[in-house]
Structures are given as C-alpha cells and as structure tokens.
Amino acid sequence: MVQLDEDQRLVAQTVREFVDREVIPVASEMEHRDEYPDALVDTMKALGLFGLNTPDEYGGNEVDYTTFAIVFEELSRGWMGLAGILGSHLVLCDVLARYGTDDQKRRFLPRLAKGEPRGGICLSEPNAGTDLQAITTTARRDGDQYVVNGSKMWVTNGRRADVLLLLAKTDPDAQPAHRGMSAFVIEKGPPGLTVGRDIDKMGYKTVETCELHFDRFPVPAANLIGGAEGLGFKQVMTGLEAERLNIAARGLGLARAAFEEAIKYAQQRHTFGKAIANHQTIQIKLADMGTKIEASRLLIYSAAAKKDRRERCDVEAGMAKLFATETAAEVSLEAMRILGGNGFSKDFPVERFYRDAPLLLIGGGTNELQRLIIARGLLERYAVS
C-alpha cells in the first residue's frame, strides 16, 4: 500500500464520504435518466474541487498531484460522469495557471476556481483528434482582436461551460504545423459561437459533450494565452499530461467500484452448493482484478510524485493512463461475468461501469497514442549511440 500523508488522507476521506453519502445512492438512476446532477455539482463547488489546481494567490486551493489523482479516483468510484464535469475544467485552469499572463490569471482563475463559471476545452475537430496538428479552425488577427472560424467536436461541458480553452491556427501555413498553433481563453457571449447538438453517447452520460461552431467569432487579443502566437500546441500538450493522470485515476476508481461489487456478490451468490467465490475460476478472476488495480494505483502515484518533483513524466503518465484504463475496461467486463445475468441488468451498477469504461481508452489521447508516447520516451532513454 502507498502511504498517504495527513492532508492527502483528509481530502481522500472528505471526497469518499461525499461519494458514499450523496453520489452512490443516486448515480445509476440519474445516469439512466440522463439527468444533470446540479446538486452534486454544487457540493463539489463547496468542497473546492473546481480550484484543485489553481494557486492559492488566485483564489484556488492547489493540491499535489497525488491528492489530485485521489479526488478523481474517489469521484469515479461513485460516478465517472462527475469526474468528467471536473476534468476538462481543470485542464483549462492548468493551462491558464501555467502559461497565462498575469492579467489572464487575474481575470479568469479566481472565478474558475469557484466553479463559476465552468470551463471546458475545445481541441478536437470532426476531422482531427489524435492528429491535433491537422486542425483547421483558424484565428486571424484583426486589430486588437482575433476572428475565429471553424468547428470543434466532442467538447465536454460544451453547453454549460462559459469559459473555454480553444486551440486554433494563427498561421495555417506554418511548417511544422504546431508552430502556427495558438491557444486562447474564450468566453461565450458575443455572436458567432453556436453550441450544436449534444452527442448521444453509450456511456459517460449526464455530462454533455457537444459540437461547437465558430463563425467570425471575436476573441480579444488579450486572451491569447501567454500573449504570444505559436505556443498553443505545447501549452495544450502540457495540460494534457495532468489530464492523463486524471483519466488514469478515473480508471482506478471505476475498476475499484466494479471489483468491490464483484467480490461482494461472489461471496453471496451460491451455485453447486457453495458461494461462487469458492470456485477456483472465480478466485483467479478476483486475484487478477485485485492485482491489476493495485498495480494501477502504484503507477498513478509514481507518475504523480514525479510530476510533483517537476520531473519530466510523459512516459510515466502515459504508462499510468494506459494500464489503469485498460484495467478498468477489463475489470468492468470481468465483474459483469461474475455477476452473471445480474451484471447485464440495470438493477446493478456494473453495466454502468462497463458502459463508462471505454471512454477512458479514447479520451485524453487514445491508448494507441499512449503506446507511441511511451515507446518514443523509452527509445530516447535507452538510445544506443
């Protein structure tokens, strides 16, 4: 087991109690109705979760990355949709806190840290997700503003968020393409930004995921993150490193929830005169599930500790994301097998875990991409001169 310090234990306990008391009793029913959890979001605001990575001087309550991961683990143990509501908001805060000008930090972070307004990130497009340098949304300078044209896809929180991180091309002809990419903090309000449909998803319901269309949408030049063009790709990629940890931790929380359902059920359900937990085939499943969950936790905490030491951790964050999310998908399916027909029924939460898990393989950079990042890093580390 990983030893947590006093502060980390306190945060873990606070979020765990919130999840046990307020989330688990309502999660499945609300998810089936695709109902937005306004009251739960209000409690998350009151707990200060929207300010988790905003420095204290800007009104946040910044925690270390282990604590950050614990929060996502605990929320996802109850309901992964809640972690989705928080996740992209915190990527925006991360990029602003790291790269924003003083003026940008002062204008946006204190409000974002309270969850008023809510945030999101607009990176992916209908024709560009993994290959982000292929985006076609443009931001052209026009006096003291930029004019944005294009479409963004899969924007989580896209309808409810009023402040968004936008990645666009300020120089569409630049080679390599990332040199012509810039990041902006944008606010809804002026005409030219339309929220299209909410995408109908198999899981990860409740939190809305939308298409956004920009048609001559004006953005003040003062909202160019860091105040210089051409830095957006790097800024966004750094923000996504923390997102990998949050997604890995979501996988850990979801896997734990599925495992806990399965190990409880295995001791209560009897076949052939004994609890199914006494059949060796089920024991092997439980052993593999428990082992992979513990390994996920260690990978996540190890990557988080490296990030806290400000060491490069793209390989470690990628490994944690890859392993913990593949574990979540595997464990949710194994839990379903252990519950038999009941695993397939909406009377038990395992079907929800099973529907939520695949997003983790895709979001925050697909696991195919994680393998590329890991391999590239390892080849650098073990280069034969």
Q: Which is nearer to ligand FAD, 91 or 350 (CB)?
A: 91
Q: Which is nearer to ligand FAD, 240 or 293 (CB)?
A: 240
Task: List the interface residues with ligand FAD, window 52-111 (CB under 6 A).
Answer: 88
- Catalytic residue check, 243: yes
Residue 194, helix vs strand vs coil = strand
HEC string for 314-366: HHHHHHHHHHHHHHHHHHHHHHHHHHHHHHHCCCCCHHHHHHHHHHHHHCCCC
Q: Which is nearer to ligand FAD, 343 or 363 (CB)?
A: 363
Q: Which one of residues 101, 133, 136, 366 is an interface residue with ligand FAD (CB under 6 A)?
A: 366
Q: What is the CA radius of gyration of the chain?
A: 21
Q: How many CB atoms lie within 10 A of CB 188?
A: 14
Which residue in the list 74, 229, 241, 243 is annotated as catalytic? 243
Which residue's structure tokens are 């931001």? 139
Q: Which one of residues 23, 69, 155, 248 is an interface residue with ligand FAD (CB under 6 A)?
A: 155
CB closest to ligand FAD, residue no: 129
130 near ligand FAD (CB under 6 A): yes
Which residue's structure tokens are 């087991």? 1
Q: Count the residues of the shown chain that bind ligand FAD, applying the rule CB under 6 A.
A: 23
DSSP codes, 138-180: EEEEETTEEEEEEEEEEEETTTT-SEEEEEEESSTT-SSGGGG
165 near ligand FAD (CB under 6 A): no
204 near ligand FAD (CB under 6 A): yes
240 near ligand FAD (CB under 6 A): no
Please identify, among the stretches 257-265, 286-294, 324-332, 364-372, the one whose residues bind ligand FAD according to the rule CB under 6 A.
364-372
d(CA 86, CA 338): 31
Specify whether the backbone of 204 is left (phi greater than 0), alpha (psi in -120 to 50) or beta. Answer: left
Contact positions vs ligand FAD (CB under 6 A)? 88, 120-124, 129-131, 154-156, 201, 204, 209, 359, 362-363, 365-366, 368-369, 372
The catalytic site residues sit at 243
